[in-house]
Chains A and B, each alone.
Chain A
């Protein structure tokens, strides 16, 4: 059981709940948000050890959120997930400083590997 908090942002409720459930099954604490704005307003930025966020969302996208975090000099490692197979998107995501980019649907083992990488950083 690891005490570290992993925050999860996805506008799709089913997927968000599933991710929260998966992260908890991996032994971490998890908390879910429906939008980047909700996360920013939550005050959990500093408390989080890792952020998993969807890219395509109404309002702020996952990549825009990462840019904001960089502006705020936040060390929070970000894992991005997307449903799109767009190579240009992949480049943008990694260029923004994301630790990992996962394509939906992904295997839990892949997410676990990304989380471990993010927490080690």
Chain B
């Protein structure tokens, strides 16, 4: 964001479109990547819902630029959970009605860097949910250690432990894959 955060926040609260475009440009890619890596079927929808919720709640936010970033991903995390529940309901409904139409294949979703994300997802599947979360927030959302701790509702020490265990688990998984080749 080229302007200062304070200028953008004031303008965003005033409903200035340019401020929201700045916010979208700054956050849409990382939020989309984060929810995509965490398995959202429609990551762009989840990302847009996240940012719309940010817009609805903007007047409740009063903090630094540092707080804002964490706040956005707290909302993204909750929207991700909502999306998972909705997806589960769609699956259940499809099973009841026999509707098994493929709802994927949206051109915009295909245009995402799917291959790289799928490679990451394949690697992360061996981790616990919390470990996957910390990796996604650190690598995709590009959050700092402190920001990640805030989003996950944990202290920094716990996050350090989680990320260390995650990397060690990934290393063991990669080593075992190498041995089996």
User: Do A and B interact with each other, yes or no?
Assistant: no
- B residues in contact (CB < 8 Å) with A: none
Identify the A interface with B (CB < 8 A). none
